[in-house]
Structures are given as structure tokens and as C-alpha cells.
Amino acid sequence: MPKQVITASTAPIVGTTPGGSASPLAQAIRFGNMLMVSGQGGVDPVTDTILSTDIVVQTRQALDNLMCVLAAAGASARHIVNLRVTLRDIADFPRFDAVFLEFFKGETVTRTCFGAIPNRRGVNVQIDCVAMFDP
């Protein structure tokens, strides 16, 4: 069974390389009934710029970007089984969590959240996920 690369035109392209060469990164890959979505940040998909330094704004945009990639794969929030969240500043957790809880109201997921430095300067939150389709 080959893996299927998923690309959403409504979400930012992931991975940048020096000199603009092609990146080996995909927004998502589906393999069988599993979907792995690359980390999404608070980046505007049209301008490829960071909308704001505010964690609330970035969290909403990161989740919107994540949902766009899921939709391109034929999935939604109900398919998510696990999310991993990276916060540049762990002190932002309460404000991040308020947006997260509002966004996922009515859904049940697992989540790991930790403090680290996302790979793009200015990105204060990065969220990736694993989603499952019915077998």
C-alpha cells in the first residue's frame, strides 16, 4: 500500500530549504487508515506571513490551518486521535488552552503539549496531529 501525500492549497506549504529547492516535507501523509499532519503554525496561507505575535491569534490560525489540511484528506476534527503542541513560551499555555478548549468543544482527543522552539522565527505555537479513518 503506497503512502498518499496530501496537499491543501488553503494551508501554508511546510518546510523551507536554502535557495528555494524542493522540500521533502508534506503537509500530511495518509497511509492506510492513518493520517499524519505536519506541524501547523499561525501563518497566513495566502501571504505566508505570521499574522501576529499574540498566542490567541496564532493558535486560532494554526488550528484553522490544521483543519484545512485535514479537509484536503477528507477528514475533520472528529478523526483526530492525537495532537502534539509546541509552545515557544510555556507561560502562554493558559491562553493557548482556552482557544484549544473552545475549538475542540464536543470532541475528545489526546494531546501532548510542551515548551520548545518551533522551527520558524516568530511562530509561537505549532500543532501537528494523527487522525484515523474507519478501517
Q: Sort 95 into a burial class: Cβ within 10 Å, 0-12 / 13-18 / 19+.
A: middle
**Average pLDDT for the chain:** 93
Report the residue count for the chain: 135
Share of the chain above pLDDT 90, in %: 81
What amino acid is encoded at 43 in this protein? V
pLDDT band at 18; cut points 50, 70, 90: low
What amino acid is encoded at 110 in this protein? T
- pLDDT tens by residue, 74-95: 999 999 999 999 999 999 999 9
* Topology at the third CATH level for domain 4-8+27-132: 60s Ribosomal Protein L30; Chain: A; (3.30.1330)
pLDDT at 19: 64
pTM metric for this prediction: 0.92
Nearest alpha-carbon partner for 39 in 105, 86, 4: 86
Q: What is the mean pLDDT of residues 51-68?
A: 97
pLDDT at 21 over 70: no
pLDDT at 13 over 90: no
Nearest alpha-carbon partner for 110 in 135, 73, 75, 85: 85
Adjacent-strand bridge partners of 75: none
Nearest alpha-carbon partner for 41 in 131, 133, 121, 132: 121
Lowest model confidence (mean pLDDT) among 1-5, 32-36, 60-64: 1-5
Q: List the chain domain ranges.
A: 4-8+27-132
Q: What is the mean pLDDT of residues 45-70?
A: 96
Share of the chain above pLDDT 70, in %: 93
How far apart CA 18 and CA 77 sit, in angstroms, is 34
Nearest alpha-carbon partner for 99 in 49, 60, 128, 129: 60
